[in-house]
Amino acid sequence: MGKCHVISAKRMGWEQMYDYYTFPVNEYSREEAMDQFRTVEKETKKNNGEWYPYTAYEYNGEIYHSIIYSGTADESEFD
């Protein structure tokens, strides 16, 4: 068991739901772990009917509203 970077990825939608991903510190730097999430340009339609662009994040086919680097933790904490 070793240390891993923890990244919290906020799911799309109104509810505050997060997925948590871990990347071993002996294989990824903090920046490399964050870079696993590819930025994608999206658009949303506001109540006034206009479209507004925003940046989202994609990882393993899932689209996330935002990502947060949460620090490092022991892998055993995620078993």
pLDDT (mean) for 13-20: 89
pLDDT single digits (tens) 49-60: 899 899 999 999
Single pTM value for the model:
0.81
Angle at the Cα of 69 from the Cα atoms of 64 and 73, rounded to 5 degrees: 120
* Integer Cα distance of 79 and 75 in angstroms: 7
pLDDT single digits (tens) 22-54: 999 999 999 999 999 999 998 888 888 899 899
Rounded to a whole number, what is the distance in angstroms from the first to the last CA of the chain?
A: 10
**Does the pLDDT of residue 1 top 70, yes or no?**
no
Q: Are 58 and 40 in contact (CB under 8 A)?
A: yes
Q: Are 57 and 38 in contact (CB under 8 A)?
A: yes
